[in-house]
Structure 1
Amino acid sequence: MEILPGEGVAAAKVGQRRDDVEARIGAPVHPRRSSKAVYNTTPMLVISYYDDDTVELVEIGYSGDGGEEVFFDGVQLTYRFMDDVVADLAARGHAYEPTDIGYRFAPGFAIFSMGSRWALDLDPNASEDDPRRIVEGVSVAPYEYFDEIDDEDEDDEDEDN
């Protein structure tokens, strides 16, 4: 699945109405209506909605083990070592900044790892304590969206001190 930086994916774009998205990809896995919905697509989509039922953020998970993965600019983003993904994107001229769980990229997306996969999943020669992170998902929204999240985190840290 190819991402559209700053927009989402072909099936769900920032600003689209929930009804339009669900007409294309079906109802969410959990039938109750909430601000975040999980869809049974391959790879899996998790879409956050604003109060007016328009798409705020599109997240795409990894499939793993030979399933369909997420791509941008010819680079496989998910189910690869994070450092390799960052190096490939940087080589194509895409600016990035680290976040607490991954990296955000100037075109309008972020890659992340929640630590649920380990290096042995991709490298049978890795040791059990290999620290390499695997990209488990991609978040897509306008670049400013990710900046706002970091600003909120900094405000929270200031309040804690």
Structure 2
Amino acid sequence: MEILPGVGVALAKIGDTRTVVESRIGPPIHPGRSLRAVYETDPLLVLTYHADDTVELVELSHGGDQVYFDGVQLTDRFLADVVADLTARGHAGEPTGIGHRFEPGFAIFSTGSMWAGDLDPDAAEDDPRAVSEGVSVAPYDYFAE
């Protein structure tokens, strides 16, 4: 799935109403109208809504189909390799607490649910390489710490 930095993805864009999103992809996995909703797409789509039921943040998880931007695979790769590939394409990033944010509006992150051995069978138990497990899409300033 290709991200649209600062905008979202084809299925859900910042500012879309919950009604519009759910007309495209159906109801969330968990019933109710929580401000955070998970949708059974591939990859999983996690949306955070404002109180007025418009999309505030679009997130995509690792596993299943991969997430891309500008020809770079963003998920299920070592975080440092993703940053290097994006930088080589002219997309400068800034470190955040769990990953990097990029202009014009997305962030890649590692929560530690995957480890280097998931990608490299020769990785030692204490291999410190972080795995890019997900992508968040919102206006750039959303990711300011």
Is this a same-fold pair by TM over 0.5? yes
Structure with greater Cα Rg = 1
Relative to the length of structure 2, the TM-score reads 0.99
Instruction: Give SS of 1:47's match.
Output: strand
Q: Select 1:111's aligned residue among 94, 108, 117.
A: 108
Relative to the length of structure 1, the TM-score reads 0.89
Per-residue displacement from partner, 1:52-75 (whole Å, max 9, x unpaired)? 100000000011xxx311000000
Number of positions where the alignment pairs a residue of Structure 1 with one of Structure 2: 145
Q: Select 1:87's aligned residue among 84, 88, 92.
A: 84
Higher strand fraction: Structure 1 or Structure 2? 2
Q: Which sections of structure 1, spanning at least 5 residues, go unmatched?
A: 151-161
Instruction: Give SS of 2:132's match.
Output: coil
Is residue 138 from structure 1 mapped to residue 135 from structure 2 by the alignment? yes
For residues 59 and 139 of structure 1, what CA distance do their matches in structure 2 show? Answer: 4
* Match in the other structure for 2:44: 44
Q: Which sections of structure 2, spanning at least 5 residues, go unmatched?
A: none
**RCO comparison, higher one (Cα < 8 Å, 6+):** 2
Amino acid at match of 1:53: D
Aligned residues with identical type, % of pairs:
68
Is residue 129 from structure 1 mapped to residue 122 from structure 2 by the alignment? no
* Match in the other structure for 2:34: 34
1:107 positional shift: 1.5
Kindly report structure 1 stretches of 4+ aligned residues shifted beyond 6 Å. none
Root-mean-square deviation (Å): 0.6
Amino acid at match of 1:114: T
